[in-house]
Amino acid sequence: MSRMTTSLVPTVRVRRGSSPLRRVGQALTPVWLPLLLIAVWWFVSAESVSPFFPPLSDILVDTWDQWVVFGAWTNAVVSLRNLFIGYLLGTLIGVVGGSLMWRLKYLRMAANPIIYFLYVLPAPALLPAMIAIFGIGDLRQIALIALGSIWPTLLNTLDGMRGIDTVKFDTARALRLGGWRTYTRLVLPGAAPQIAAGLRASLTVGIVLMVVSEMVAANSGIGVFILQAQAEFAIKKMWTGILVLAFIGAALNYLFVFVERRALRWYYRSRALGSS
């Protein structure tokens, strides 16, 4: 009897905490390849005498001198200001425009040819027109960044909203939710993961256009710094601008992922439960 009773009792497994070695491995997983590439660059370029590929140690020292001691950080401030303003304007237009096109079928059918025409048109090709319209000030750079940031967000917003299950709309009608409440409580949350993907793609496009717009008829910014250094044949100085730009781009993308993970925590939890 005791054996039968014992066999009927479910076995409870105690989950032990992960070992320190495993935690270190998890922490190093996202960074081991960048660290390895930096180490290879450091040792391969250590004895370099080429004026075009100076040692990484010299570039890092000059980066501190140029961007901290000599005040080149003001160029980064100007670039980031234009990027944030243009990115916010473009993505706002993208979300609103995508929502309107989802809601209004005839507007979507009429606007589709125009949108896909502008979407495939390279934004840098519009620089001469932007200079003619907005001049050579910051407004021209903000407008170009905003224009390039619209399309990934708009198209992802539209696709995300059109992909929502029709059963959910039937449920919303049964609950007698109004149009605005259906939009804010059903449509936006349902399309949020795809909207976030569009926002991230727009951020990448915005960073590229930030630099491109500064390399033509601009007075300040990271792009101006890099272009002037190249024109002066100050190759080490040029590399410092490239490093700062790469650091800013990586930091902005990691920041976006950090915010996205917390804003869409419910979505990632549901995916984890579905895959388990």
The predicted-structure confidence for 195-245, as pLDDT tens digits, reads as follows 999 999 999 999 999 999 998 878 889 999 999 999 989 999 999 999 999
> What is the overall mean pLDDT for the chain?
86
> What residues contact 205, with CB distance under 8 A and at least 6 apart?
123, 148, 149, 152
% of the chain surpassing 90 pLDDT? 46
Question: What's the pTM?
Answer: 0.84
Q: Which two tokens stand for residue 217?
A: 């008829």
Could you write out the DSSP letters of every residue in 70-118? S-THHHHHHHHHHHHHHHHHHHHHHHHHHHHHHH-HHHHHHHHHHHHHH
> What residues contact 8, with CB distance under 8 A and at least 6 apart?
none
| 150-195 confidence digits (pLDDT tens) | 999 999 999 999 988 888 888 888 888 778 888 888 899 889 999 9
% of the chain surpassing 70 pLDDT? 91
Question: Taking a C-beta distance cutoff of 8 angstroms, is the pair 114, 260 a contact?
Answer: no
pLDDT recorded at residue 274: 64
Taking residue 180's Cβ as centre, other Cβ atoms within 10 Å add up to 8
Please, how many CA atoms are within 13 Å of residue 99, restricted to the half-sphere of its CB? 19
Taking residue 134's Cβ as centre, other Cβ atoms within 10 Å add up to 15
